[in-house]
Amino acid sequence: MIEMLNVTKYYDGNSTALVDVNLKVEKGEFIFITGPSGAGKTTLLKLLFYAEIADEGQILIAGWDLYKLSKRSIPYLRRNIGIVFQDFKLLTNMTVFENVAFAMRVVGTPYKEIRQKALNVLKLAGLVHKADDYPLRLSGGEQQRVAIARAVGNEPTILLADEPTGNLDNRSASAIIEIFKEINSKGTTVLVATHNENLFTSSGRRVITLDSGRVAGEGLR
């Protein structure tokens, strides 16, 4: 589903964020990417949804070479990728419901279907009672779940989650992992970037460890 071949990424010339990264993720897999702060986790995810462009190497998504696609088709590629941003990126002038519905409207979901679909994902995220609240009035964990609800709302083929348990306590964190498992069980390929080892220890899942932009380790935990 995802393939990175000898990918290197520099920022503004000097700082190297990723060096010669090779990564292959199968369809329906659920993997973790870990490593210390500044290791390049966010950068790796950004490359996958074309928010950043690699300086060297090749990236394939569902068999498509990202750098051979026309600019016009990028939005359509992104529609198959749900993203949970490290900083949420919720629209503060819209309610929780509107945030989720907006993402559906952007990709052209028929009006009639939006309401029911949005309510379904809010239910999954346990947020139905907060549907009409504005994001800034929610707790960090609740905002996090809004971001997740929005990301999974369009039933993406790939889900990229960047530090989705940020500063959450263990119980909230595992609740979020449960949501991802549920999505994954429906066939979505899931990539979670985190430095929270509790999320994956004894999960039996594949974990990629980055250090200073290089793949430092890979294995089941």
Partner 1 sequence: MISYHLSEGLRNISRNKLLTLTAIFTISVSMMIFGIFLILFLNLNLLHEGWGERIQITVYLKDDTDKDGLIKEIKKEKEVAEVIYTSKEKALAEFRKELGREKEVLDSIGENPLPASLDVSVKKEYRSSEFIEPLVETIKMLSGVEEVHYGEEWVKDLTSLLKGLRVTGLFLGSLLALGIIFITSNTIRLTLYARQEEIEIMKFIGATKGFIRGPFLVEGALQGFGAGVLSVLLLYLFYSIAAYGIDFRLPGFNPGFLALSALIPIPLSGFLLGLLGSLFSMGRFLK
Q: Of the two residues 81 and 131, which places its CB atom closer to ligand ATP in the complex?
A: 81
3-state helix/strand/coil string of the chain = CEEEEEEEEEECCCEEEEEEEEEEECCCCEEEEECCCCCCHHHHHHHHCCCCCCCEEEEEECCEEHHHCCHHHHHHHHCCEEEEECCECCCCCCCHHHHHHHHHHHCCCCHHHHHHHHHHHHHHCCCHHHCCCCHHHCCHHHHHHHHHHHHHHCCCCEEEEECCCCCCCHHHHHHHHHHHHHHHHCCCEEEEECCCHHHCCCCCCEEEEEECCEEEEEEEC
| Partner interacting with residue 79 (select from Mg ion, partner 1, ligand ATP, none; CB below 5-8 Å by kind) | partner 1
Q: Of the two residues 52 and 98, which places its CB atom closer to ligand ATP in the complex?
A: 52
Question: By CB under 5 A, is residue 194 in contact with Mg ion?
Answer: no
Q: Of the two residues 149 and 199, which places its CB atom closer to partner 1 in the complex?
A: 149
Q: Of the two residues 21 and 183, which places its CB atom closer to ligand ATP in the complex?
A: 21
- Binding letters toward Mg ion, positions 5-44, x by CB under 5 A: ------------------------------------xx--
- Contact residues for partner 1, defined by CB under 8 A: 49, 51, 72, 75-79, 81, 83, 85, 89, 91, 102-103, 105-107, 150, 154
Please report, as ranges, the residues that interact with Mg ion according to CB under 5 A: 41-42
Residues that bind ligand ATP (CB under 6 A): 11-12, 15, 17, 35, 37-43, 86, 195
